[in-house]
Structure 1
């Protein structure tokens, strides 16, 4: 049964994503969490599980800062223990149900929601409780119980940062402690405090009341506090181990992997094909969004911990994978996705002057100061964040008109809406429902692009309405330069013929197995864009941290496997923690604090950071809006 949404539901009617087995420990008998219970194995002793659940909530997670939570959970724990020991009374069942009212006045939702599944067990398994009370039953404990603290925002964050913890520290003006909480899962807070798409905010329960917490900006506040006060990161690595690891790629995935391995004492060397660290963040995200000096500061932590970064070293050109396997005990491939997708239109292979090889190429050339001339009228094709960056950079590089051509409408653009707003404020022009069909050139130079008008039909597999060309609607948009920015793929040419059996997907990304980030080649791991396809910085960070954890086990135990934290993260991610239909019983009206921003006309032609620092006093006010939505989940293993 599954009663998490109210009432009983037969599992046979559900497409449940709860695994049948928990690692190699045994079968999953039941799940207990913030909104109910899922029973997979009828033999599971649900009363014993409820008693163990509340014991762990009270002893491991209850902060004790409010009387209802501290006293209420203790009464629940003691009552359940008494029933389990055969000393309970029927009146105890009423006490358990009545406690739900007391726990509604808790400071946070941890204790309040922890009572929900316990009370549900009384409703749905009352006969089992009565059997204990009458002395007709003895406890049948599961082989083991596994629990994990989570929150809707934590679950949605690919790096699984303890977001309520670092916000709570900001609330108390403890910015250093806040940053320490962030760095437990995220080593580049200045970066992710600026360019993260913050999926956590889409799962913020505060949004069900008024507006989501500015989670990303608060992360930046904690990171900025450190460098603005000239403090150095306090991390100290464990004693040095004799195992050596090579990380290929100094982007978010590689840097994260290296960071956590260095903390454990491993000797780590990073190889990168660029002349400076950061990967796509360094050469694909303009300085007005991510100041380069702060990116470098985030990554300096690698050398501060004893790691080495070798620049201008490309896998497949300067060193082979075979050589790396011979020289190192383990290898992590975090080579990103730097290969632009072709548009597939007439003329793009003719080598016309004014046709860029791709949006990511254009941004890289500008970032590295390579000789490139941006003419007066530029067209960028695409609707993602890279396309938006290209049209905005073109203005800063001297274009008088910068035009974005996209085959759908603004509503379907995959770019972050606030980035599109910023582009509009800088006078970027948009041509929606237009798709290029042919490049127009004279004397080998681009003079325009032919486009066709598109019409939207039924949604495709992405959920966006599928565009279709309108016959006979072609026309030419004059321009001097065309930059295609319709996506990037990993370039895995470095694998060559001696690829050691590393498999690739049909999307030209690396295949890894079982969430371990291990490839088909023993000791070679992969993560980030080269494993998943072009994604976000925070996804790459999550990959890098998971890979480092598994690599450490492989190096020390000779086996790549997931531990309990990994397994519970995956279970919760599959089940989903956020409920967008939840009725949050508090009054709204405390609106979101916003960081100051440079005006569009003032910023459009320079690379100064446009989103300014949020004052710390304002950050504290924003942190006070947090509802601290912790939940505890537990599975019984039979």
Structure 2
């Protein structure tokens, strides 16, 4: 695949990024594609490695390794190297319903397990993937695929995130009549309101929703199950129901002073910001405005980074992000060998922007918040923290120990809690009567059936907080199982 000696002749080239200070003045995507020539060179770096670990899609030590949707990466790398873009698109769409999403916001576990990455920087798989699908739309190669024959079967999908959309796309192509219910005012789930525009502009999401609509899928927004329509009504009107509601219950921080004004969940902050931007370009004032304020983000993941980037664009006075763990090493540790996902230090877009604006990386490591303090009016004014040391006991188990004398007080008028999600919201599960464990719907991976006849579950609602590629994987697979349930056999992959 690619050029036989390409990985020795060419270096990895990073996607172009707009100047950090310039992009802070707007909400447009921060990255841009490489040239066709550069991408051809990147495709040439793909080795004929016999066993392409990049698309194995598994977990090592609980972390995703390789592509869960088993993209045929070496095949379309080779086609891009040879300039055969339309054929590359055909290969890409065999496994991935929405490359325009994964090519922008997936953390690319495929690159972590790329064979080139054993000793050199990985093939730029994510950049190539994004450009293939973008060229597909630009050149008119992506057209509505109207099913020739309908089965007469009706399926309701609750939730329009990546799992729900993937299931809807597959089932519609199998000839079923699909209706997607979404409680927000726009379809797309976390793609629309959970990921800020800087990473995924909403025109990209709307373009796909419009295409799915043209292909025959019905989207019903502003509709909450249990409030606007009951689960029983849904089950009586449809031959099958799929729950793809995501893991939307955010994990809270139980701590002294939590009740102070100015403390919000990260997703509430991101959602209101995006909605106000889309509705009125912030003219309606219906968002959490951090302008001129001191902001602290608690949680070291991607959601926390998105909060940092959002606060920077709102011209916050200062932005700091707290992380529980020590700073990652610059190279793989001995216990993090290829092909496991590389747990190494990186400077993501938000941190580049913070350095450009404030002169330093906003991340603080190995830190624990002890309490939050409000002023006489109940408004948050400061956080009290202590540094932690990560140690290993005699059984090899890690634990954290406070470092005496490392206490510190941080000024803050806003805190955003970004420490993950506990699971799906329980009222919906009660409506359907489906069983759950630890707020995740009980439905075996690969089968997706709940304890309720005709009701299936997939995505984060079933597996817990995870990656967009796992959501697409489960959306595709649950579609196959529902097709088999309704028809006795399935034509879906």
Q: Secondary structure at the match of 2:386?
A: strand
- Matched residue, 1:208: 118
Q: Whose Rg is larger? A: 1
Contact 2:263 2:414 (8 Å CA) reproduced: yes
Contact 2:309 2:353 (8 Å CA) reproduced: no
Q: Secondary structure at the match of 1:426?
A: helix
Contact 1:187 1:298 (8 Å CA) reproduced: no
More relative contact order in 1 or in 2 (CA 8 Å, sep 6+)? 1
Matched, 1:423 2:423: no
Aligned match of 1:528 in 417, 436, 459? 459
CA displacement at 1:385 relative to structure 2: 0.6
- Matched residue, 1:381: 298
- CA distance in structure 2 between the partners assigned to 1:460 and 1:307 by the alignment: 57
In structure 2, runs of 5+ residues without a counterpart are 5-45, 57-65, 277-285, 331-341, 356-360
- Matched residue, 1:550: 481
In 2 relative to 1, CA 168–207 (structure 1 residues): closer, same or farther, beyond 3 Å?
Answer: same
- CA distance in structure 2 between the partners assigned to 1:334 and 1:304 by the alignment: 22
Matched, 1:367 2:274: yes
- The correspondence of residues 23-422 of structure 1 with structure 2, limited to 5 A, is 109=48, 151-155=52-56, 156-233=66-143, 235-348=145-258, 350=259, 352-356=260-264, 358-369=265-276, 370-375=286-291, 376-411=293-328, 417-418=345-346, 420=348, 422=350
Q: Secondary structure at the match of 1:220?
A: helix
- CA distance in structure 2 between the partners assigned to 1:172 and 1:252 by the alignment: 31
- CA distance in structure 2 between the partners assigned to 1:471 and 1:217 by the alignment: 46
Matched, 1:538 2:445: no
The normalised TM-score by structure 1 is 0.61
Q: Secondary structure at the match of 2:437?
A: coil
Matched, 1:457 2:387: no
In 2 relative to 1, CA 108–406 (structure 1 residues): closer, same or farther, beyond 3 Å?
Answer: closer
Q: Secondary structure at the match of 1:245?
A: strand
CA displacement at 1:216 relative to structure 2: 1.1
In 2 relative to 1, CA 193–425 (structure 1 residues): closer, same or farther, beyond 3 Å?
Answer: same
In 2 relative to 1, CA 214–465 (structure 1 residues): closer, same or farther, beyond 3 Å?
Answer: farther
CA displacement at 1:415 relative to structure 2: 9.3
- CA distance in structure 1 between the partners assigned to 2:133 and 2:95 by the alignment: 14
Aligned match of 1:467 in 392, 400, 419? 400
Q: Which moved more, 1:200-209 or 1:333-342?
A: 200-209
Contact 1:197 1:416 (8 Å CA) reproduced: no
> How big is each residue's C-alpha offset from its partner over 1:569-621, in whole Å with a ceiling of 9 and x where there is no partner?
xxxxxxxxxxxxxxxxxxxxxxxxxxxxxxxxxxxxxxxxxxxxxxxxxxxxx
Q: Which moved more, 1:295-304 or 1:402-411?
A: 295-304
- Matched residue, 1:118: none
CA displacement at 1:389 relative to structure 2: 0.8
CA displacement at 1:496 relative to structure 2: 5.6
Contact 2:144 2:212 (8 Å CA) reproduced: no
In 2 relative to 1, CA 549–416 (structure 1 residues): closer, same or farther, beyond 3 Å?
Answer: farther
CA displacement at 1:277 relative to structure 2: 1.8
CA displacement at 1:344 relative to structure 2: 1.3
In 2 relative to 1, CA 207–365 (structure 1 residues): closer, same or farther, beyond 3 Å?
Answer: same
Contact 1:385 1:419 (8 Å CA) reproduced: no
- CA distance in structure 1 between the partners assigned to 2:390 and 2:491 by the alignment: 44
In 2 relative to 1, CA 473–190 (structure 1 residues): closer, same or farther, beyond 3 Å?
Answer: same
Contact 2:328 2:343 (8 Å CA) reproduced: no
CA displacement at 1:551 relative to structure 2: 0.9
Matched residue count: 415
Contact 2:295 2:413 (8 Å CA) reproduced: yes
In 2 relative to 1, CA 317–205 (structure 1 residues): closer, same or farther, beyond 3 Å?
Answer: same
- CA distance in structure 2 between the partners assigned to 1:167 and 1:379 by the alignment: 42
- CA distance in structure 1 between the partners assigned to 2:100 and 2:394 by the alignment: 37
In structure 1, runs of 5+ residues without a counterpart are 1-62, 67-106, 114-149, 566-638
> How big is each residue's C-alpha offset from its partner over 1:78-125, in whole Å with a ceiling of 9 and x where there is no partner?
xxxxxxxxxxxxxxxxxxxxxxxxxxxxx9858xx6xxxxxxxxxxxx
CA displacement at 1:314 relative to structure 2: 1.4
Contact 1:412 1:464 (8 Å CA) reproduced: no
Contact 2:249 2:425 (8 Å CA) reproduced: no
Q: Secondary structure at the match of 2:149?
A: coil
In 2 relative to 1, CA 276–415 (structure 1 residues): closer, same or farther, beyond 3 Å?
Answer: farther
In 2 relative to 1, CA 422–390 (structure 1 residues): closer, same or farther, beyond 3 Å?
Answer: closer
